[in-house]
Amino acid sequence: MTNLRHALADYLALRRSLGYKLLEDGWVLEKFVAFVEQADSAHITTELALRWATQSSKASPVHHAHQLSRVRLFAEYLSGIDPQTEIPPRGLLPAHYQRQAPYIYSEQQICDLVTAAGKLPSATGLRACTYATLFSLLAVTGLRIGEAIALDFDDVDLGERVLLVRQSKFAKDRLVPVHRSTAEVLGEYLAMRQRCHPHQSSNAFFLAERGTRLTDCMARHTFIQLSRRIGLRAPGDHHGPRLHDLRHTFAVATVKRWYREGLDVDVQMPLLATFLGHSHVSDTYWYLSAVPQLMALAGARLDMNLGESLS
């Protein structure tokens, strides 16, 4: 292993100890180190970093800038060890990331998705039950897909009707209460799971057909197949509504309900941020500006308050 690879391993270990998962950054930076080694260099240079970050002609300028920023952070760390390290200057690839506008599902679309999942073919019926229950849980709790598939058997307390989400973003744990009807559906799934795999070795709550934990790729692949089947995406379309948009839909529906009930949204927003596991309430407020329906409701509330203060 080269000194550069040793340094990368130490860098990733340090940042992960601070709560960053760096799943994608890890293998991306490994590719960069291999690129540097192929160039017969033992040090990071701005020229090499720039050439590596922009080598894909099909990628967007935002992607190029993001790749270079990953290298910059590693180079900043490495410069304290290797004085010959060059840190690519900021602004070298000026491109700004624009957060993708959320797709807000209708209730009918969610019902269609869950119904289609319940018809998935499987030898035992577990696959259909797993995905119908999983997608339903995402819709009514706003969990991230990674949080849902990471649930263990002991993390689901049906008696207290609460889920324990472990080691989510930034290594945070949180409790997520669920409605009685949700607990009943989870109980029905648990019975099905135990009938199909009474002696399974996996402690995962959501199981694949063969009795192993679901993976992120499996869940997303199944969602894309079903979304095409029910018309959310065109056949062969690689873009469109995402599984993560179920989380957005939950957040937007919650805020819309608060407006209808006349609640003070500013007071309630930190509660939603905590429920969703956001590190900053500003991440939750983003929904107000990203969704036209919420902007209209916020504007109407502002007009009403101004009218009352002037009368």
- What are the structure tokens assigned to 23, written together? 């799943």
Mean pLDDT within 55-69: 87
Count of positions (residues) in the chain: 311
Alpha helices in the chain (DSSP H): 3-17, 23-38, 46-53, 61-78, 107-117, 126-141, 145-149, 180-196, 216-229, 245-261, 265-276, 281-290, 292-310
Q: At residue 310, does pLDDT exceed 50?
A: no
* Residues 129/189, Cβ–Cβ less than 8 Å: yes
247 carries an active-site annotation: yes
pLDDT grade, residue 290 (50/70/90)?
low
Torsions phi, psi of 221, nearest 5?
-65, -45
Mean pLDDT within 165-186: 88
Q: What digits encode the pLDDT tens for the residues 100-129?
A: 778 899 999 999 999 999 999 988 889 999
Phi-psi region of 26 (alpha: psi -120 to 50; beta: other; left: phi over 0): alpha
* CA–CA separation, 56 and 21 (whole Å): 25
pLDDT grade, residue 96 (50/70/90)?
low
Please state the pTM of the whole predicted model.
0.71
Kindly provide the b/e burial profile for residues 51-72, where b requires at least 16 CB atoms within 10 angstroms of the residue's own CB.
ebbbeeeeeeeebbbbbbbbbb
21 carries an active-site annotation: no
Q: At residue 186, does pLDDT exceed 90?
A: yes
- What are the structure tokens assigned to 255, written together? 């805020």
- What are the structure tokens assigned to 263, written together? 């609640």
Q: What digits encode the pLDDT tens for the residues 13-25?
A: 998 887 777 778 8
Mean pLDDT within 284-298: 68
H or E segment and range at residue 157: strand 156-157
233 carries an active-site annotation: no
* CA–CA separation, 46 and 180 (whole Å): 57
Q: At residue 222, does pLDDT exceed 60?
A: yes
Of the candidates 244, 256, 259, 301, the residue annotated as catalytic is: 244
* Residues 135/250, Cβ–Cβ less than 8 Å: no
Of the candidates 193, 242, 247, 248, the residue annotated as catalytic is: 247
Of the candidates 66, 169, 228, 229, the residue annotated as catalytic is: 169
What is the structure's pLDDT at 231? 93
Of the candidates 64, 144, 233, 248, the residue annotated as catalytic is: 144
- How many Å is the Cα radius of gyration of the chain? 23
Cβ count near 109 (within 10 Å):
17
Mean pLDDT within 36-46: 93
* CA–CA separation, 144 and 3 (whole Å): 37
* Residues 129/118, Cβ–Cβ less than 8 Å: yes
H or E segment and range at residue 18: none
31 carries an active-site annotation: no
Which residues contact residue 60 at a Cβ distance below 8 angstroms, ignoring those fewer than 6 apart? 95
| 3-class secondary structure, 204 | strand
What percent of the chain shows pLDDT beyond 90? 56
193 carries an active-site annotation: no
What is the structure's pLDDT at 86? 94
239 carries an active-site annotation: no
